[in-house]
Amino acid sequence: FYIGNEEDAAEKIDPAALGLLEEEYEKFKDVDSRSLLKKYLTQEIFDSVKRRVTSKGATLHDCIKSGLANPDSHIGLYAPDAESYSMFHELFDPVIDEYHGGFGPDDSHPATDFGDPSHLGDLNELGNYVLSTRVRCARSVEGFPFNPLLTSDQYAELEQDVGYTLGTLEDDLAGNYRSLDEIGPEEQEELLQKHLLFKQGDRFLEAAGASRFWPEGRGIFLNENSTLVVWVNEEDHLRIISMQEGGNMGEVYDRFVRAVTALGEKLPFSSSGHLGFLSFCPTNLGTAIRASVHIRLPLLGSDRQKLEDTAAKYNLQVRGTSGEHSEAEDYVFDISNRRRLGISEIEALQEMYDGVMEIIRLERSLEEGGTESRKGPSQ
Ligand code: ADP
Ligand code: DAR
């Protein structure tokens, strides 16, 4: 499955760069971190891969520098290009295996299977718990490295190619693409508050070298009613997002499938038989899908650890109201599928749908539990 030829790469690294990498690794040994980088970058693996360089120039340091700078990382590593997943597979393999709940180096990601969106109903059938529903995926365009290795010209070329293709979307998918520097600060803040625009200044991405030339090459596509959103060159080349108020997962997923399919017919998305669709972060490989709800859980959410443990039972991940690395506001949580690799698109959606329904049933049972149940704030 591996792309790179590790043996040939052994002598490529610049001696000064190797010295810096070895110094930083020595210091990292004394850093207290619970990241998967800390867990899996053993001295043995470090020594076996430290001299390697991919054909586009990525080194081990490029992969791990975000986790070295941010000990509170959950993962701590990114792939500066597609080749890094094979060139440094001794480190990526165990991280991928643990994050995606068991996906080994000899496993193959299944073929794309979006299933039938009409088989997914409305998550609010038991009551209006879900405020809004979102399905997104990451996509990378063949021929371009990932953020840390993109040149200024490549950012411009990628933005032009993707922007042109977005302009061909039809009917309810049709809309407009704008570069970030074409959107004033007030409108950017408004779009951010509506959770339509990506957050800026993410320290994990900045430390990974993913914010160079900012805001060059970055932008956002919105269809007429802002239910289809595409982010260009934020964390990945594309983030394709379908979202709307309420809990109608069937409608959100149907729009998502039509948009991803239409764009995939015109853009060559990077993928491999082993890892599926390739992304900058190893958490977004395979289907690269994150299906989420904004859901208000004043009872179950009053004990975050209990909520996290309950979500984990259904392979769900809990984020705050503004997504990753944010806190919940008024008990509104972002709950989504955790697994994206080794399962099909429809399996990821079904796993999330079923898990959210269980969470809702649990919240309802706490409500019906009367006085003995924890009462959240009477909002
Ligand atoms: P990702 O793009 O990987 O999903 P984040 O966790 O940063 O990354 O989420 C991006 C944005 O999407 C955040 O503003 C978050 O609040 C928003 N978001 C996620 N799920 C929903 C949802 N179901 N409804 C509305 N906004 C959402
Ligand atoms: N913040 C980094 C990445 C975690 C996954 N989220 C992404 N890729 N947006 C971490 O290691 O915690």
Give the per-residue pLDDT at 1. Answer: 43
CA of 61 relative to ligand 1 center, distance in Å = 29
Q: How far apart are CA 54 and CA 241, in angstroms?
A: 31
Q: Is the pLDDT at 370 greater than 80, yes or no?
A: no
CA of 280 relative to ligand 2 center, distance in Å = 10
For residues 142-154, average pLDDT: 97
Are the CB atoms for 326 and 319 separated by under 8 Å? yes
117-366 falls under which CATH superfamily? Answer: Glutamine synthetase/guanido kinase, catalytic domain (3.30.590.10)
Q: Is 141 exposed, middle or buried (0-12, 13-18, 19+ CB in 10 A)?
A: middle
194-223 pLDDT tens trace: 999 999 999 999 999 999 999 999 999 999
136 catalytic residue (yes or no): yes
Domain ranges of the chain: 6-99, 117-366
Q: Is the pLDDT at 7 greater than 60, yes or no?
A: no
Q: Which of 134, 136, 258, 339 is catalytic?
A: 136
β-bridge partners, 248: 122
pLDDT band at 11 (very low <50, low <70, confident <90, very high): low
CATH number of the domain at 6-99, please? 1.10.135.10
> Would you state the structure tokens that stand for residue 3, as one six-digit string?
């792309």
106-121 pLDDT tens trace: 999 999 999 999 999 9
CA of 323 relative to ligand 1 center, distance in Å = 5
Which is nearest to 52 in space by CA: 89, 77, 95? 89
283 catalytic residue (yes or no): yes
Give the per-residue pLDDT at 10. Answer: 52
CA of 324 relative to ligand 1 center, distance in Å = 8
235 catalytic residue (yes or no): yes
Tell me the best of 34, 63, 68, 75 to mutate to test the pocket of ligand 2, counting ligand atoms within 8 Å of each CB and taking the most: 75
- For the residues of 285-341, what is the DSSP string, one character each? -BT-EEEEEEEE-TTGGGSHHHHHHHHHHTTEEEEBTTBTT---BTTEEEEEE---S
Q: Which of 281, 338, 340, 351 is catalytic?
A: 281
pLDDT band at 127 (very low <50, low <70, confident <90, very high): confident
Q: Is the pLDDT at 9 greater than 70, yes or no?
A: no
Q: Which residues line ligand 2 (CB under 6 A)?
A: 73-76, 204, 235, 281, 283-284, 324
